[in-house]
Amino acid sequence: ARSSEERGVVVIGLGRFGSHLAGSLLRLGHEVMAVDRDPARVERWSARLDRVVQADATEEDALRQLGITSFGRAVVAIGASLEASVFTVLALAELGLPQIWARATSRRHARILSSVGAHHVVFPEAETGERVAHLIVTRMLDFIEFGDDFAIARVPVPETLAGRPLSEIRPIERYGVRVLGAKVTGEPFRYASDSTVLPPGSTLVIEGNIDQVQRFAGLS
């Protein structure tokens, strides 16, 4: 069994991003300690999160006193203040936190965060903007792009392929994508095999390189 500290995550900065993140971690069953320097923010979230403390996270001593070193993971969710974001990551790195996640608001910000000790950098505005662009211009219902030209998408089954078995469609050979499964509304997700017949009106989960996933999503 994992200790509560291992399951625990420190979230620094309760702006829009940090507060959603903290709420999601709680719903996933993780212990969350949230830190913000603004007393009004602390007051506002203390009823909804189990542990919210007021502190300036750029101060290494303040973080140490909060017992942050017993946590395995911290997320620096500060966006607007570059200085506060960078100094907070630096303080966490000096304290030797094993997993430091940090939010960047620009490519250069991301590079600085990595160089001062962030292990993982996320870029929510850029990532969401790109993802939504794909959703707007294609029939994809959902799209996750992994680095290195690989994507997974949820797409409506193209009408020309519905009702036919995968052994006949041969999506890998023909379209360069693998169909992982098919979902009919109200029914459980089914992994696809060669004998799977794509149900009309279903939603498919497909994987492949980005161009090919997009081309498949464009089939009608």
Compare residues 56 and 60 and give the one whose CB is closer to ligand ADP: 56
Min separation Cβ 22 and ligand ADP, Å: 11
Binding positions for ligand ADP, 78-97, rule CB under 6 A = 78-81, 84, 88
Least gap, CB of 79 to ligand ADP (angstroms)? 4
* 13 lies in the site for ligand ADP, by CB under 6 A: yes
* 16 makes contact with ligand ADP (CB under 6 A): yes
116 lines the binding site for ligand ADP (CB under 6 A): no
Query: Which range touches ligand ADP (CB under 6 A), out of 30-38, 164-172, 178-186, 207-215?
Result: 30-38
38 counts as binding ligand ADP under rule CB under 6 A = yes
Q: Is 121 in the site for ligand ADP (CB under 6 A)?
A: no
Instruction: Please state the closest distance from residue 91 (CB atom) to ligand ADP, in A.
Output: 9
**Residue 23 within binding range of ligand ADP, rule CB under 6 A:** no
DSSP codes, the chain: ---HHHH-EEEE--SHHHHHHHHHHHHTT--EEEEES-HHHHHHHHTTSSEEEE--TT-HHHHHHTTGGG-SEEEE---S-HHHHHHHHHHHHHTT-SEEEEE-SSHHHHHHHHHTT-SEEE-HHHHHHHHHHHHHHSS-SEEEEETTTEEEEEEEPPTTTTTSBHHHH-HHHHHSEEEEEEE-TTS--EE--TT-B--TT-EEEEEE-HHHHHHHHT--
Residue 13 CB, shortest distance to ligand ADP, in Å, is 3
Span near ligand ADP by CB under 6 A; candidates 8-16, 145-153, 170-178, 196-204: 8-16
Site for ligand ADP in 50-69 (CB under 6 A): 56-58
Q: How many CB atoms lie within 10 A of CB 60?
A: 17
* Segment contacting ligand ADP by CB under 6 A, of 74-82, 93-101, 136-144, 199-207: 74-82
What is 85-115 written as a DSSP string?
A: HHHHHHHHHHTT-SEEEEE-SSHHHHHHHHH
Which residues of the shown chain bind ligand ADP in the complex (CB under 6 A)?
Answer: 12-18, 35-38, 41, 56-58, 78-81, 84, 88
